[in-house]
Amino acid sequence: MSITPVPTADLYDEHGEALDICTTDFRQFGGRRLFAGPVRTVRCDEDNALLRELLHTPGAGAVLVVDGGGSPRTALVGDLIAGAAERNGWAGLIINGSVRDSVALGGLDLGVKALGTVPRKSGKTGAGAVDEPVTIGGVTFRAGDTVHADDDGVVVLRG
């Protein structure tokens, strides 16, 4: 389901405090700076096997919200996994954790927001959970919510 992205400031002007605003100061890494879609979630701690598996399935315009526990130690996404997300029709990734291959990420038609970069790969055990609610920056992201992201921030529309 493709959702037309709307600048987050415009959404705030329209919805005010009914809008959930994530307070995490994400950095922008992807080539698509304004993106939106239905939320999918994955929780994984310094292990990206589950995340990789999910991004190799059709995304149908969804935005994957990744709760990596805010770890700066390992990258949860690099150019290969992000490239798979782009090819499979995901609109974007919002990662409470780190990425790598940041220059290559900027060349993809994919939204990618994360806390920072680190060259170290993550584990590959498959630990984690998919489509369970995750809370990041004071906002609980639930599968099926609508998220919009741009250079000004990340917001969620309920219902």
Across the chain, which has 159 residues, the per-10-residue mean pLDDT values are 91 95 98 97 94 97 97 96 98 98 98 98 86 97 96 91
Q: How far apart are CA 75 and CA 124, in angstroms?
A: 12
Q: What is the pTM of this model?
A: 0.96
Contact assessment for residue 95 and residue 115, using Cβ atoms and an 8 Å cutoff: yes
Sequence-distant contacts of 138-145: CB under 8 A, at least 24 apart: 138/21, 138/22, 138/23, 139/20, 139/21, 139/22, 139/23, 140/20, 141/39, 141/41, 141/65, 142/39, 142/41, 143/38, 143/39, 143/40, 143/41, 144/38, 144/39, 145/38, 145/39
pLDDT score, position 127: 82
pLDDT score, position 112: 98
pLDDT score, position 159: 63
**Three-state DSSP state, 54:** helix
Q: How far apart are CA 42 and CA 51, in angstroms?
A: 7
Q: How far apart are CA 158 and CA 142, in angstroms?
A: 9
By residue count, the chain amounts to: 159
